[in-house]
Structure 1
Amino acid sequence: MITLHIEHPITDYTVWKSAFDRFAGAREDAGVLGHEVRRPVDDPAYVVVDLWFATAGQAEGFLEFLRTRVWADPARAPALVGRPLARLLVTEEVAQMPAQEAERV
């Protein structure tokens, strides 16, 4: 699995999330298998997004779409601050939290 890992500061999470949700169809069309959105506990004005793909080519294509069609247009990327940090990651290993630890979370 390939992960397109993106992180950047934002001005308003609700505005950012609304824009993110508007691109659900584009993510599906690009082959996104799933995603995860996180924010640092000490910085609500920062967002970290992982998008999962079957191939690096799919991830690279979607990253190009983001750079040229989304992030380059403030109307399509409201609440975005600066230029996002993005990189492709290959999954080498996945481990699960032991059941007894998961129950405590």
Structure 2
Amino acid sequence: MYVLRVEHAVPEYEAWKRAFDGDPLGRGAVGVRAYRVMRPVGDPGRVMIDLDFDERESAERMLARLRELWTRLTVATTPPDAELTEVMETGRY
């Protein structure tokens, strides 16, 4: 499994969340299996989003789409950061 982690500051979470929920890139059609939206407890003006993929190529396509989207609009006060990771192991307790 591959995880695309996106992190950025947001000036207003509710407005950002409406844009995220609008799903302008069609996450499901690109291959996103699941997502998680997180905010640091000590910094609610920042979000972290994990997008899960089965295939690396799908994750890379989404990353390219995100970077293109970020050139067209401002969703944050600082440029977003994104990194593609490969899940090596998971466990539950």
Q: CA deviation at 1:24?
A: 6.7
1:32 aligns to what? 32
Tell me the amino acid that sits aligned with residue 66 of structure 1: L
1:19 aligns to what? 19
The structure having more radius of gyration, on CA atoms, is: 1
Partner of 1:83, secondary structure, is coil
Tell me the amino acid that sits aligned with residue 46 of structure 2: Y
Q: What is the percent sequence identity of the aligned residues? A: 35
Structure 1: where are the runs of 5+ without partners?
A: 98-105
Q: Per the alignment, do residues 49 and 91 of structure 1 end up closer, same or farther by CA in structure 2, a change over 3 Å counting?
A: same
Q: CA deviation at 1:95?
A: 1.1
- Cα distance in 2 between the residues matched to 1:60 and 1:24: 17
Tell me the amino acid that sits aligned with residue 72 of structure 1: T
Count of matched residue pairs = 93
Structure 2: where are the runs of 5+ without partners?
A: none
2:70 aligns to what? 71
Instruction: Tell me which protein shows more strand as a share of its residues.
Output: 2
1:58-102 per-residue CA deviation (whole Å, 9 max, x = no partner) reads 00101101111x21122xx54x122111111100111113xxxxx
Does residue 1:82 correspond to 2:81, yes or no? no
How does the TM-score come out when normalised to structure 2? 0.93
Q: CA RMSD in A?
A: 1.3
Q: CA deviation at 1:25?
A: 6.5
Which structure 1 residue ranges, 4+ long, deviate > 6 Å from structure 2?
none
- Cα distance in 1 between the residues matched to 2:78 and 2:48: 14
Mapping of residues 2-13 of structure 1, within 5 Å: 2-13=2-13
Tell me the amino acid that sits aligned with residue 29 of structure 1: A
